[in-house]
């Protein structure tokens, strides 16, 4: 039986929608001996992570820490803590992950208002403005970097509209965090969540979140209990904050070691330099792909630098090409989702996977496969 043999995996070049390649220093950090999740040394690591999360979110929010679960749990954490039954939420959806937020709103017992854009296009602020003329939602939520389509959504104008309507502004930054400009305090973002496996280049399984004082006040003044015990921030925060930490759950110690080292790598490079590296490699990929006849799904000006959605040329079999990339070249790229299945590839240039070498290897392999 296969489980009786030693566990080994292939060394892949990860250029899909996540996870991304991980730096050797991060892998080494995961091999450090375990300590208890309330050990003073681990509490110090938690404090380091909180401080680096604030620096990378460009925020001074006190409630900034990590949910011990992946980015989807970060999404659920933010929504279920801010919404109560009977509340109204405006969700801006232009892909899979906006649709997930809309689903969670319903599970909270809240009233959903939806502003949708065609997949591959951004949300027009004027449509949000029109809806807000006739409603006063508790929050307005939007995906900054829609991984399913490759759209980079401008945030500032929609954030201003949300605040003018008296609403909180919630942002999904799972794919954009540490890969392109994200200014939580300057842009008036009240709640934000991300994941560790994208541009942070840490293993999947953790979700950095940050809440503004306005959002914390909403959580503090809830009239009903949060529907999830595990994700209830009124309890989780006592594990992360204060001199005396209160046991809530057993944190994934090795994953936290890895995240601390991944954050150190981000800050050593410099956040702005890291943003520019992602854009530079996006431009390099675009030039090479267009030279081979590929077209990008998203119009220029709204394309993600770290997740590139390209149309599959006629005569190229999606599954066959991706299988050859994986089996002959050890390169993983992502398939299209839902309506784009078989029509689009999603090419990731995230974190450690965003390099000139990654771009050149992929372009060379694709040239041999499709020509």
Domain with 52 in it: what CATH number? 3.40.640.10
Q: Evaluate whether residue 306 is within a structural domain.
A: yes
| C-alpha span between 254 and 35 (Å, rounded) | 9
> 267, 294, 320: which is the final residue of a domain?
267
Domain check: are 220 and 353 in the same one?
Answer: no
Q: Is the pLDDT of residue 340 over 90?
A: yes
**Cα–Cα nearest to 252, from 37, 31, 76:** 37
Co-location of 65 and 36 in the same domain? yes
103 and 161 part of one domain:
yes
Asked whether residue 223 falls in the same domain as residue 304, the answer is no
Are residues 257 and 281 part of one domain?
no
pLDDT in tens, 61-85: 999 999 999 999 999 999 999 999 9
Model pTM above 0.85 = yes
**The pLDDT of residue 1 is above 70:** no
Q: Is residue 310 part of a domain?
A: yes
243-279 per-position pLDDT tens digit: 788 999 999 999 999 999 999 999 999 999 999 999 9
Alpha helices (H) along 35-89: 40-57, 71-82
Digit-coded pLDDT (tens) for 316-327: 999 999 999 999
Shared-domain flag, residues 216 and 282: no
Indicate whether 189 belongs to any domain: yes
pLDDT, residue 242, reads: 81
Same domain, 280 and 142: no
Bond from prior residue into 327 cis (ω within 30 degrees of 0): no
Q: Are residues 37 and 66 in the same domain?
A: yes
Q: Is residue 2, in this structure, part of any structural domain at all?
A: no
Q: Mark which of 267, 299, 333 sits at the end of a domain.
A: 267
Cα 176 to Cα 30, 209, 228, 257, 280, distances in angstroms: 24, 13, 27, 22, 15
* Same-domain status, 344 and 235: no
Q: Residues 174-227: pLDDT tens digits?
A: 999 999 999 999 999 999 999 999 999 999 999 999 999 999 999 999 999 999
Same domain? For 316 and 219 the reply is no
Distance CA 266, CA 55 (A): 10
193 with 173, same domain: the answer is: yes
How far apart CA 31 and CA 314 sit, in angstroms, is: 46
The structural domain count of the chain equals 2
- Give the whole-angstrom CA distance, residue 351 versus residue 180: 11
Q: Decide if 302 is inside a domain.
A: yes
Lookup: tokens for 136: 């006063």
Helix, strand, or coil here: 210? strand
Where among 236, 267, 298 does a domain terminate? 267
Token output for 315: 């005569």
Pair 322, 196 in one domain: no
CATH number at residue 286: 3.90.1150.10
Looking at the domain assignment, is residue 172 inside a domain?
Answer: yes
Range of the domain at 320: 10-18+271-370
CB 72 within 8 Å of CB 100: yes
Q: For residue range 296-320, what is the model confidence (pLDDT) as tens digits?
A: 999 999 999 999 999 999 999 999 9
Mean pLDDT, the chain, rounded, equals 96
């Amino acid at each position: 039986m296969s489980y009786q043999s030693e566990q080994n995996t292939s060394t892949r070049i990860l250029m899909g929608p996540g996870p991304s390649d991980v730096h050797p220093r991060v892998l080494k950090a995961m091999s450090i001996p375990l300590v208890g999740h309330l050990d003073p040394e681990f509490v110090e690591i938690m404090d380091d992570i909180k401080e680096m999360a604030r620096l990378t979110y460009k925020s001074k929010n006190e409630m900034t820490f990590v949910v011990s679960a992946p980015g989807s749990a970060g999404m659920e954490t933010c929504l279920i803590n801010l919404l109560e039954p009977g509340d109204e939420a405006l969700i801006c959806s232009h892909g899979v992950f906006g649709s997930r937020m809309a689903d969670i709103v319903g599970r909270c017992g809240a009233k959903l208002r939806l502003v949708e854009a065609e997949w591959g296009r951004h949300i027009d602020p004027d449509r949000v403005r029109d809806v807000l003329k006739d409603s006063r939602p508790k929050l307005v939520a939007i995906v900054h970097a829609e991984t399913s389509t490759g759209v980079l959504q401008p945030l500032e104008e929609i954030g201003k509209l949300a605040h003018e309507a008296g609403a909180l502004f919630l942002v999904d930054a799972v794919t954009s965090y540490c890969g392109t400009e994200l200014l939580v305090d300057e842009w008036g973002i009240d709640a934000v969540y991300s994941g560790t496996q994208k541009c942070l280049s840490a293993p999947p399984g953790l979700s950095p979140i940050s809440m503004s004082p306005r959002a914390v006040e909403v959580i503090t003044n809830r009239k009903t209990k949060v529907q999830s015990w595990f994700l209830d921030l009124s309890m989780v925060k006592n594990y992360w904050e204060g001199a005396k930490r209160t046991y809530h759950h057993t944190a994934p110690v090795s994953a936290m070691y890895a995240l601390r080292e991944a954050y150190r790598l981000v800050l050593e490079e410099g956040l702005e330099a890291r943003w520019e590296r992602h854009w530079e490699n996006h431009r390099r990929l675009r030039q090479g792909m267009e030279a081979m006849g590929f077209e990008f799904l998203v119009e220029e000006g709204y394309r993600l630098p770290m997740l590139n959605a390209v149309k599959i040329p006629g005569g190229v079999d999606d599954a066959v090409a991706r299988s050859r990339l994986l089996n002959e070249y050890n390169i993983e790229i992502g398939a299209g989702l839902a309506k784009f299945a078989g029509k689009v590839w999603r090419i990731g240039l995230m974190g450690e996977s965003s390099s000139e070498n990654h771009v050149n290897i992929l372009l060379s392999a694709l040239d041999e496969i499709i020509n």
